Structure 1
Amino acid sequence: MSKQNSALLRYENFSISFGSGRREKWAVSNLDLEVGIGERVALVGESGSGKTLTALAPLRLEPEGAKVSGRIWWGGKEEGAQPVDLLALPIEQIRKIRGREIAMVFQEPMTALNPLFTVGNQIAEAVQIYQPLISKAECESAAINLLKKTGIPEPDRRFHSYPHQLSGGQRQRAMIAMALACKPRLLIADEPTTALDVSLRMQILDLLKELQAEATGDGGMGILLITHDLNLVKHFANRVAVLNQGKMMEVGSTDQIFHHPDNSYTEMLVNSEPVREIAPVMPLAPVLLKTNALSVAYPSSESISWLKKAPPHKVLRKVSFELKQGQTIGVIGESGSGKTTLGMAVLGLLGDGNAQVSGEVEVLGEDWQDLKPAQRRAMRSSLQVIFQDPFGSLSPRMTVKQIIAEGLDVHFPKLTSAERESRILDIVREVGLERGVLERYPHEFSGGQRQRIAIARALILRPQILVLDEPTSALDVSIQKQVLALLSELQKKYNLAYLMISHDLAVIRAMSHELMVLKEGRVVEFGDTETLIKHPRQAYTKELFTAAELT
């Protein structure tokens, strides 16, 4: 078989650009890369380097207005078959390839899943496409089995859940289950473990390896992995390709890239570990945020009998802590452990009529639960949040400038135009963006760039307390390091208090003074971060740290 036929997927002189003439901007330039049959290739690089655009191109999912050139060879259905150029195929033929032959796991599951259908039905639909002759019951059974394989607890119950009823990690696992339903020959995974806790990341990787080995045809399923997680790459990929500003820096074996990189940019990426640079908390620092026996439950939709409903589902169980000025408390735990619910309860964002919240929350000495709506709104500038999903939290109809300035218009309406403009420009520079981004819209940016916009929106109000819900999950390692350094610097400068929720224990270790470990809504350990990491008492905590290789 010729070299052209030996690759399952091969990019040849691939380029993608936007605009025309002088304004034409090259997002990817003259890229050559191949994924072999049964091979695992990781594509890494900073936000905006062109990784996701490269991943979307084989399925012709590039953004509107993009100009694509070069060739992307697809190896054909059978060994010996002549490859076809995916860029030259009509869209009708591409649709037949999507899902059946080439499947994709998208970076942001909440925007990729249909909010009107249960996750089980969406997975069962994918199974039906692959096996049109099997019954509806068999499709549902296969979907439940896929949910179970990807590590979702109570898969029979979660089959009937809608996307908004799952945690971020559970939604990501449902996306992976859907992508694998058709047993594709190539899986393109764009940040497939971003929202997963560390203990589940290796499970997902092991699952992908297992399914890759099980795949029929010429040697197994190929995988093209797009990720910021270099630790994941080290344990998963056969080869690594490094992309920078749309250009390929180097391609090599995993061992070579991590231990003997040829390129200075690659060396910088490999060495971009978070650095612990936090200032100690002052002995008499005031308590800015306090909870006492904070609990959250949701009514169950299931029934024990036709007269009696099942008891409420408890998500958070009597969580108590004190957050002081200048302090960071890190919150870790598996997906569904209640981390994000804790953050939303503290922020007072669970008042949808369904959540049953009990216990006490004090913000700046005020009982947050008893405040009137107008009083709570007035205090919002002191208590801000950075959400996990930057695309879902930014209005697509507003420019970056409007998004960042919106809080100023609400909380600081007396600022002059010059003062307002100065604050906006200062905060944009602080989060590593350029002035030119201000007139653009969120869809024009990479995931990491959108997260920096979200951080700027929160920080511009100079809050006293910041709830950070996976603030760096969408950032590449080098930008992550910069953002964490920025958050540390701002904390020292303004004595900010952070409640940091994260799956990334390296980030938590670098940023937090104290560490809270949640499991099934309960606090299983709480104490000084370094002491707890070096001497964990609970088996659950030890498992988390072992998975993250922190002990």
Structure 2
Amino acid sequence: MSTVNDSFKPAAPLLRYEDFSISFGSGRREKFAVSHLDLEIGVGERVALVGESGSGKTLTALAPLRLEPEGAKTAGRILWSGAKKSNQQSSNQAKAEPVDLLSLPMQDIRDIRGREIAMVFQEPMTALNPLFTIGNQIVEAVQVYQPLISKADCTSAAIDLLKKTGIPEPGKRFHSYPHQLSGGQRQRAMIAMALACKPRLLIADEPTTALDVSLRLQILDLLKELQEESKEDGGMAILLITHDLNLVKHFAQRVAVLNQGNLMEVGLTKQVFKHPENAYTKALVNSEPVRDLAPVMPLAPVLLKAENLSVSYPGTDSTGWFKKSPRHTVLRKVGFELKQGQTIGVIGESGSGKTTLGMAVLGLLGDSAAQITGDVDVLGTVWQKLKPVERRAMRSSLQVIFQDPFGSLSPRMNIMQIVSEGLDVHFPQLSAAERESRVLDILREVGMDRSALLRYPHEFSGGQRQRIAIARALILKPQILVLDEPTSALDVSIQKQVLALLTELQKKYNLAYLMISHDLAVIRAMSHEVMVLKEGRVVEFGDTETLIRHPRQSYTQELFAAAELT
């Protein structure tokens, strides 16, 4: 991927925030999530908005589409100059009279959504309709832009969009439901939907969070290509919200830094990264994860072991009335040993079987259509041979942090109930005061306080929800922790704190981690050994530093090169 042009000059404003604020509550209880923001995105420009969780990035992005949460109060103006016109007027689109999106009737805003301003949301599983296929949802978006074209042409356009976003077998995936795709594939489908209407502005809220590093670069390259193609129609601008500073360096022409709702710094990307003026920006730029692992003891016992572990699912292709379609194998004879105090990092492209491996060792595939062969040994016991009651008793020693914190946290439970739920099951003898004390202690360790106890998941940012999920897992002090993308929703500064916390807990309690991640910088900082998966097979396995410096397989070399670790 090419770097950003240092001589870039912003074009005419397309979207402009003027003294924009968003707050909750009233009177003395009024709290500003975004305060007096002045920021503009030019025609055809790429701007990145970065900052810590809860800094107001997503609220700033939602405001132009009037998607702010119920109870939010907005002030100031958001001026939009990108109204689509007829072909005869298209050459003068940049000169369109700006309108204040905050004062427009909702009917006018609905006409702008998708057609003029499109958005890729952070959590695709909650944004996609589970009752409709991916193809039907993209076709619906295509029909909004071209209502007179035939159904066959809509289908062809949707499949072409899936192909452009890098989904394998797009014709087949067209008929898949969201739950049948990996996290990365769902995110790419969301991007395809957003691009279907050829918007003037694409707001991308963490669009590559669920993608591995090579696909992140492919998606951003695709957005650049589509931006180039859009110049004939006036040029598409992109507002990128991300915690991945490496992507910001390569993608954005300008970067704006938010902290607690305040704009701290804005400027050309290279200038801000090389010579940050604000102290907060300096801390953000220097927030790469630090490797500070304790060595694994030579005689450390093996806590988790897999031998010839394979997982397959029934095939979905029809082969006739009386013939069964071949099974789809997700994992193929995977084996490893995880010792006390050790971290094994698992990497690979989306759909390579990483999350399936985690679910298999957790024993969470037993009630599905999955066929599992091989053995998983947990704390000296074959996991598959345990009775449900015996397995439940062992779950306090084997915990998990899921990839999607919003989907894994019950919306009907407050944070006190969510974090203490494991205590209620495994330590019922604790009094209410003791439970609350333990919950408060673990919340403080992950950077939260007492004010969170009676609030609900929807009241927190994505990063804050992930910290709550981490607290829920850690409160039982497990011996083994499966980390499925534990920092994917966190910005880099909070990520560094959480990884430092996990490292300290590992040193203190000799915890064993099976860490699944797309972020190779996180894998490098946290893992003693790395397992590389491709299409369900282990293609390389070894000491982290040795493997990163001297990868043997071309697939591994490509992964590390994309992450700029080699």
Range class of TM-score, shorter chain: over 0.9
User: What is residue 299 of structure 1 aligned with on the other side?
Assistant: 314
Structure 1 position 34, deviation (Å): 0.6
Counterpart residue type for residue 541 of structure 1: T
1:535 aligns with 2:550: yes
Counterpart residue type for residue 350 of structure 1: L
Separation in 2, partners of 1:136, 1:352: 38
1:460 aligns with 2:466: no
Structure 1 position 307, deviation (Å): 3.0
- Deviation readout 1:351-406 (Å, 9 max, x if unpaired): 23311111110110111111111111101100000000000000111110110000
User: What is residue 361 of structure 2 aligned with on the other side?
Assistant: 346
Give the alignment partner of residue 495 of structure 1, picking from 492, 507, 510.
510
1:47 aligns with 2:62: no
Separation in 2, partners of 1:217, 1:74: 20
User: What is residue 111 of structure 1 aligned with on the other side?
Assistant: 126
- Deviation readout 1:501-545 (Å, 9 max, x if unpaired): 000000000000000000000000000000000010000000000
Counterpart residue type for residue 116 of structure 2: E
Give the alignment partner of residue 438 of structure 2, picking from 410, 423, 434.
423
Give ranges in structure 2 of 5+ residues lacking alignment. Answer: 1-9, 85-92
1:18 aligns with 2:24: yes
Separation in 1, partners of 2:65, 2:508: 47
User: What is residue 286 of structure 1 aligned with on the other side?
Assistant: 301
User: What is residue 15 of structure 2 aligned with on the other side?
Assistant: 9
User: What is residue 37 of structure 2 aligned with on the other side?
Assistant: 31
Q: 1:225-240 residue pairs with structure 2 within 5 A?
A: 225-240=240-255
Counterpart residue type for residue 34 of structure 2: V
Using structure 2 for the length normalisation, give the TM-score: 0.96
User: What is residue 276 of structure 1 aligned with on the other side?
Assistant: 291
Separation in 1, partners of 2:278, 2:232: 37
Give ranges in structure 1 of 5+ residues lacking alignment. Answer: none
Structure 1 position 80, deviation (Å): 2.2
Counterpart residue type for residue 12 of structure 1: E
Q: 1:217-228 residue pairs with structure 2 within 5 A?
A: 217=232, 219-228=234-243
Q: Secondary structure at the match of 2:94?
A: coil
Separation in 2, partners of 1:136, 1:373: 50
Separation in 2, partners of 1:417, 1:353: 36
Separation in 2, partners of 1:329, 1:533: 14
Confirm or deny: 8 A CA contact 1:5 1:83 kept in the other structure.
Answer: no
Give the alignment partner of residue 329 of structure 1, picking from 335, 344, 348.
344
Separation in 2, partners of 1:435, 1:302: 52
Confirm or deny: 8 A CA contact 2:416 2:436 kept in the other structure.
Answer: no
User: What is residue 457 of structure 2 aligned with on the other side?
Assistant: 442
Structure 1 position 217, deviation (Å): 4.9
Separation in 1, partners of 2:294, 2:231: 55
- Deviation readout 1:210-261 (Å, 9 max, x if unpaired): 0011115554100000000000000000000000000000100001110011
1:157 aligns with 2:172: yes
- Deviation readout 1:175-213 (Å, 9 max, x if unpaired): 000000111110000000000000101100000000011
What is the CA RMSD across the aligned residues, in angstroms?
1.1
Count matched residues.
548
User: What is residue 91 of structure 1 aligned with on the other side?
Assistant: 106
Counterpart residue type for residue 16 of structure 2: R
User: What is residue 524 of structure 2 aligned with on the other side?
Assistant: 509
Structure 1 position 135, deviation (Å): 1.0
Separation in 2, partners of 1:42, 1:5: 16
Counterpart residue type for residue 533 of structure 2: L
Give the alignment partner of residue 100 of structure 1, picking from 107, 112, 115.
115
Moved over 3 A (4+): 216-219
Counterpart residue type for residue 450 of structure 1: R
Confirm or deny: 8 A CA contact 2:142 2:196 kept in the other structure.
Answer: yes
Separation in 2, partners of 1:523, 1:153: 20
Q: Secondary structure at the match of 1:143?
A: helix
Structure 1 position 51, deviation (Å): 0.1
Q: Secondary structure at the match of 2:366?
A: coil
Separation in 2, partners of 1:353, 1:244: 44
Confirm or deny: 8 A CA contact 1:198 1:544 kept in the other structure.
Answer: yes
Separation in 2, partners of 1:416, 1:439: 18
Name the stretch that deviates more: 409-418 or 201-210. Answer: 409-418
Separation in 1, partners of 2:365, 2:141: 33
Counterpart residue type for residue 37 of structure 2: L
Separation in 1, partners of 2:356, 2:11: 50
Q: Secondary structure at the match of 1:448?
A: helix
Counterpart residue type for residue 230 of structure 1: L
Q: Secondary structure at the match of 2:436?
A: helix
User: What is residue 199 of structure 1 aligned with on the other side?
Assistant: 214
Give the alignment partner of residue 489 of structure 2, picking from 471, 474, 482.
474
Instruction: Give identity over the alignment, percent.
Output: 82
User: What is residue 190 of structure 2 aligned with on the other side?
Assistant: 175
Give the alignment partner of residue 366 of structure 1, picking from 356, 377, 381.
381
Counterpart residue type for residue 165 of structure 2: T
Confirm or deny: 8 A CA contact 2:21 2:75 kept in the other structure.
Answer: yes
Confirm or deny: 8 A CA contact 1:120 1:159 kept in the other structure.
Answer: yes
Counterpart residue type for residue 238 of structure 1: Q
1:390 aligns with 2:405: yes
Q: Secondary structure at the match of 2:385?
A: coil
Give the alignment partner of residue 67 of structure 1, picking from 73, 80, 88.
73
Q: Secondary structure at the match of 2:303?
A: strand
Separation in 2, partners of 1:324, 1:492: 13
Confirm or deny: 8 A CA contact 2:11 2:44 kept in the other structure.
Answer: no
Counterpart residue type for residue 44 of structure 1: V
Confirm or deny: 8 A CA contact 1:79 1:218 kept in the other structure.
Answer: no
1:127 aligns with 2:142: yes
Separation in 1, partners of 2:131, 2:319: 26
Counterpart residue type for residue 235 of structure 1: H
Separation in 1, partners of 2:272, 2:327: 50
Confirm or deny: 8 A CA contact 1:47 1:476 kept in the other structure.
Answer: yes
Counterpart residue type for residue 413 of structure 2: M
Separation in 2, partners of 1:380, 1:134: 54
Confirm or deny: 8 A CA contact 2:11 2:45 kept in the other structure.
Answer: no
Confirm or deny: 8 A CA contact 1:73 1:84 kept in the other structure.
Answer: yes
Give the alignment partner of residue 261 of structure 1, picking from 276, 281, 284.
276
Structure 1 position 79, deviation (Å): 3.3
Q: Secondary structure at the match of 1:285?
A: coil
Q: Secondary structure at the match of 1:439?
A: coil
User: What is residue 378 of structure 1 aligned with on the other side?
Assistant: 393
Using structure 1 for the length normalisation, give the TM-score: 0.98
